[in-house]
Chains A and B, each alone.
Chain A
Amino acid sequence: MPARHGAPMPPRTPAGSIRDLHRTMALADDARIAEIVTLVDSLPERGAADALLVPLRGRLLQIRPTRRTSFTRLLFTPANAVVVAAAQWRRTGVTLPRTGLCCLVKQVRAQLGPVAAEFDARLADATTEDRVIILREGQLLWCLAADVLRSAGMPDDWVRETGLAAADYTSVARGLAALLHVASRIEAFADRVGAGCGVPRAQIQACLAEAVAWSSDAPGGRGIKDAPGGTGIKDAPGGAAAIGMLVGVLLARLPRPEDILIAADDVGHAAGDPSVRQACDLAIDGVLAGGLAHAQDNDIGAATRELAHLAGLLDALEKPGPACRPARKSAVMALRRETDAACRQRFETDMAHCIAAALDLFDGGTPGGEAMLLEATMRDLRKFEAVARRFGGGPGYDRGLSDAATALARPFLSAAAPSGAIACNVARSIEILAGPEAGLAFLTSQPGL
């Protein structure tokens, strides 16, 4: 298209082409998506190419391809759990709008000067799998970035680049700064959880107390004003208000929400600062707002993990304790009900598919390796169901499992006896669904076994 004033315009991609591209990418297999991600990650200036990944974010969370660890990715690693799309972002001080990341990283890079380039050089060959490098470099970068963001003023292009209000900068930057200041501890906590250990409440409390104290010392750390029309903490002391994002990350990454809530309450008491509790409440509300989506996660393993996490939080919120609020009770109950309904629906759908696949498989003769996949799917469904029961619907799940086992056994009870191998496979499937007694009853009903 010719420019209106004679200067050539950069070529623009027609909206239709972008849509076609998104559609093609939505149909791409995991390997192809990993290739596209590697290509985009390797671009020196991602710019518009980054938009290619927007519709893939859900898939990326599922397939988790190995990616290059860039300066930007390293900087936001501790905050990943609270990064949300601009449309989902609320002025609660708990989440980080994705549209703000670019501006924030530019600001940190500018302030660090040649040090940023040194990070680039050291990260040149690192990937998201290189945990040792991430922790080593992160330890350095997160502290430097926290200091920058704690005292920096709003970049000139903030409003233009991010689409956010000028007043949002302070809460976003200070919240991220507080989080980054204790990021090394959070990553160590996450590693402990990954290693099968819990995190002692005393350590969580020390982490929160450190973040509050550090944020309170910041220039202008007290008296952060909430954005006009916002729903966050108004006129709250900066130190406490800034820990909302940190609490959100802790709630998302650590397994015992009650420990985090009690620790935060104790820190608030110790600091004589009621806004710690307010920040905590906002973080909880943020987690609750995204709770229902977990039941619909395509990856049933991820859905089970997230639902277990959510169930733990709901249990903690219903128990008498620092986070138990009469005002929240109805919201918690509603979320429990909605999650229960979503879980039951998913369970019924997935189980129906699973049984249909099983009957096809057993009908076709010796199932071989496919039987292992089928059993793995059934076990995943049982794990999902075990967690889903925490939201309610116990008798419904019992009935569903019993019906599924009956449906699986029926063709083999009425027709000619299956071969020994098939009978064992069917019995094992029934055992997974309805318990060893049901499996044994089927097995012993088969002649010759």
Chain B
Amino acid sequence: MLQGGRLRRIPPAARLGRLQDSPLEAIVPNPSGGRGVYVLPWTDIGALCRPTMHDTMLVRRLSTPIEGIERDLTPGRVRDAARAIALQGLAGQQAASAAEASIKRRDEGLLATRFTLLMVVTEQMEARRLMEPARLEQEPLEIEQRGGLVLVRLARELGQPPQRMSGLLDQLALQFLDVGCGLGMANASLPSLVSNLGVLRNELSVWAQSEQASGTDDNDPVVRAASRTAVAVAGAAEITAQMARVALDAARARLGDMPGLLRAILADTSEIARCCDQASWLLDGWEQIWLTWHASPGALSHHDAVRAIGRQIPALPDEAEGWLGLPAGTAEQLFRRPPPERAAFRDTGSHFETIARNEHFRALAD
């Protein structure tokens, strides 16, 4: 129910001397459309919205330390937790079945990504030794065997046991599953979403223009507000897609030197994770926006969809400016939300429609 909001772990220093039921806090864009964000402990979230049972269970799961360690929340971890909660049936039957299918799909994707990474490292190591590089059309078994030999050699170079190299490759595959690599790169979840944002931008722009053109009254405030919102979302989608493309390219560029990358992971296991997570952070919240727009006209009208997604534009993480070398304050300038529209006239229990729609989107989301 948090529109465009994010959760994060409260820094331990900020928790001192405060009795907190939950170690999480919510960062919510200013609901009035003005500058800045609201930061409030999850325990006070009732001041902004009424979380559903699913939301509460999700937050409880996210609050629980993993293997005794309180890890930072990343979009990937939140998605994993959401899948686990959906699997229990707390987001409805449809979302439970979808979560099961998604977990199976991701397991298969993980195998494929690992295989691609093995090919890349084999190709690079063999090229370095002036041998014939492995090619994609070669038999998988042969590549597996040659890859195994390459990993053994690499392990020797790095002074590690061969099993450790295999484990590192598994870890890397997990990081690149959503970023995508190799031939199936475009099908990975983040590049797919970037591509969908391009479609969203185009469709919203065309819709805004057609609304303005077909308006029977130039001063119609409803048409003007909707067009303005659509243009704002289209603009934010375009910038987000561009930023995410840069972040995805930067992550994939690291695969250009796989031996070096594996060596770097040995020194700092979280560095590549942070690099791969950048695109996830930039795109966080946009899948819901895409699904909302994509569901119109059908589950909801274009106007209702625009009204909903106008409230969902996520706040860009502060760190994004640093990642992309942007001047401080750029994010706030670019991601200014349109002011809230006049309340919709439909008052027939819209709260239930919103929950049902969110659960439907939960089922469609990756």
Which A residues have a C-beta under 8 Å from some C-beta of B?
188, 194-198, 200, 202-203, 255-256, 304-305, 308, 368-369, 371-372, 375-376, 379, 382-387, 420-421, 424-425, 427-428, 431-432, 435-436, 439-440, 443, 449
Q: Which of A200, A425, A431 contacts B89 (CB 8 A)?
A: A425
Instruction: State A387–B353 Cα separation when bound (angstroms).
Output: 14
Given contacts A196-B307, A202-B217, A203-B216, contact A424 B349 (CB under 8 A): no
Bound CA–CA A323/B303 (angstroms)? 31
Residue ID in chain A nearest B88 by CB atoms? A424
Q: Which residues of chain B in 338-366 are interfacial with respect to chain A, using CB atoms and an 8 Å cutoff?
A: 344-349, 352-353, 355-356
Known contacts A203-B217, A383-B348, A386-B349; decide if A436 and B222 are in contact (CB<8 Å).
Answer: no
B216 in contact with A196 (CB, 8 Å): no
Helix, strand, loop or mixed for chain A's interface?
helix
B345 in complex: contacting residue of A202, A256, A379, CB < 8 Å: A256
Residues of chain B within 8 A (CB-CB) of A255 are 345-346
A303–chain B nearest beta-carbon distance, Å: 10
Beyond the given pairs A203-B220, A379-B349, 18 more chain A to chain B contacts, judged by CB atoms under 8 angstroms and listed by A's residue number, are A195-B297, A196-B300, A197-B303, A198-B222, A200-B221, A305-B348, A372-B93, A379-B356, A382-B352, A386-B347, A387-B347, A420-B88, A421-B89, A424-B90, A428-B90, A436-B53, A440-B57, A443-B53
Q: Is the CB of B349 within 8 A of A428?
A: no
Are A196 and B301 in touch, CB under 8 angstroms?
yes
Question: B52: nearest residue on chain A (CB-CB)?
Answer: A436
Q: Most chain-A Cβ atoms within 10 A of its Cβ — which of B55, B88, B348?
A: B348
A197 B348 Cβ-Cβ under 8 A: no
Q: B221 contacts A382, CB within 8 Å?
A: no
| Contact among A188, A256, A369, A431 with B53 in the assembled complex (CB-CB below 8 Å) | A431
Which residues in A have their C-beta under 8 angstroms from that of B220? Answer: 200, 203
In the assembled complex, the Cα of A420 lies from the Cα of B92 at a distance in Å of: 13
B53 touches A439 (CB 8 A): yes
Which chain A residue lies CB-closest to B222? A197
**Which residues of the partner chain B approach A371 to less than 8 Å between Cβ atoms?**
93
CB pair A188–B216 under 8 Å, yes or no, is yes
Chain A: minimal CB distance from B14 (Å): 27
Q: Give every chain A residue within 8 A of B355 (Cβ-Cβ).
A: 379
Cα distance A200–B222 in the bound complex, in angstroms:
8
* A-contact 0/1 string along B50-62, CB 8 Å cutoff: 1111011100000
Measured between beta carbons, the chain A residues less than 8 angstroms from B222 are: 197-198, 200
Q: Is the CB of A387 within 8 A of B216?
A: no
B92 near A387: Cβ-Cβ < 8 Å: no
Bound Cα distance from A435 to B303, whole angstroms: 29
Are A308 and B348 in contact, CB atoms less than 8 angstroms apart? yes
Q: How far is the CA of A439 from the CA of B304 in the complex (A)?
A: 29
Instruction: Provide the residues of chain B in CB contact with A198, threshold 8 Å.
Output: 222, 345
Within 8 A of A (CB), among B55-100: 55-57, 88-90, 92-94
Minimum CB distance partner of A202 in chain B: B217
Query: Nearest CB to that of B55 among chain A residues?
Result: A436
Cβ-based interface call for B283 (8 A): no
Contacts of A382 in B (CB 8 A): 349, 352
The answer to whether A436 and B93 have CB atoms under 8 Å apart is no
Contacts of A424 in B (CB 8 A): 88-90
B92 touches A383 (CB 8 A): no
Which B residues touch A375, using CB under 8 A? 92
5 contacts between A and B (CB under 8 A): A195-B297, A203-B217, A379-B349, A382-B352, A387-B347
Q: Which residue of A is nearest B91, CB measured?
A: A428
Query: A443, B57: Cβ atoms under 8 Å?
Result: yes
- A221 and B55 alpha carbons, distance in the complex (Å): 64
B: residues with CB less than 8 A from A are 50-53, 55-57, 88-90, 92-94, 216-217, 220-223, 226, 297, 300-304, 307, 344-349, 352-353, 355-356
Q: Which residues from chain A contact B57 at a C-beta distance below 8 Å?
A: 440, 443
If the complex has contacts A427-B53, A439-B53, are A194 and B92 also in contact, measured as CB distance less than 8 A? no
B-side contacts of A194, CB under 8 Å: 301
Residues of A within 8 A of B89 (CB): 420-421, 424-425, 428
Tell me, in angstroms, the Cα distance from A197 to B226 when the chains sit together: 9
Closest residue of B by beta carbon distance from A373: B93
Nearest CB of chain A from residue B307's CB, rounded to whole Å: 7
Q: Are A431 and B52 in contact (CB under 8 A)?
A: yes
List the B side residues contacting A421 at CB < 8 Å: 89
Decide if A440 touches B302 in the complex (CB within 8 Å). no
Known: A382-B352, A383-B349. A196 touches B344 (CB 8 A): yes
A436–B56 touching, CB < 8 Å: yes
**A52→B246 CA distance, assembly (Å):** 67
* B69 CB to nearest A CB, Å: 24
Q: Which residue of B lies closest to A256 (CB)?
A: B345
Task: Report how far A196 CA is from B343 CA in the complex, Å.
Answer: 12
Cα–Cα distance between A379 and B90 once the two chains are bound (Å):
16
A202-B217, A372-B92, A436-B56 given as contacts; is B226 within 8 A of A379 (CB)? no
CB distance from B280 to the nearest CB of A (A): 28
Q: Are A386 and B221 in contact (CB under 8 A)?
A: no
With both chains docked as a complex, state the minimum distance between the C-beta of A194 and any C-beta of chain B, in angstroms. Answer: 7
Most chain B beta-carbon neighbours within 10 Å: one of A197, A379, A421, A428: A197
**Which residue of chain B has its CB nearest to the CB of A436?**
B53
Which chain B residues border A431 with CB–CB below 8 Å? 52-53
* Contact A368 B348, beta carbon cutoff 8 Å: no
Docked Cα-Cα span, A425 to B95, in Å, equals: 13
Rounded to whole angstroms, the CA-CA distance of A115 and B92 in the bound complex is 56
Specify which chain B residues have a CB less than 8 angstroms from the CB of A305 in the assembled complex. 348
B222 CB to nearest chain A CB (Å): 5
Minimum CB–CB distance for A275 against chain B, Å:
28
Residue of B nearest to A370 (CB): B93
Which residue of A has the minimal Cβ distance to B50?
Answer: A436
CB distance from B360 to the nearest CB of A (A): 11
Neighbouring B residues of A197 by C-beta, 8 Å: 222-223, 226, 303
B223: chain A residues at CB < 8 Å are 197
Using CB atoms, name the residue of chain A closest to B344.
A196
Contact present for B352 and A428 (CB under 8 Å)? no
Give B311 Cβ to nearest chain A Cβ, in Å: 14
- A196-B307, A304-B348 known; A372 vs B50 contact (CB < 8 Å): no
With A197-B223, A203-B216, A436-B56 in contact, do A368 and B93 touch (Cβ < 8 Å)? yes
CB-CB < 8 A to A428: which residues of B?
Answer: 53, 89-90, 92
A424 to B356, CA, bound (A): 16
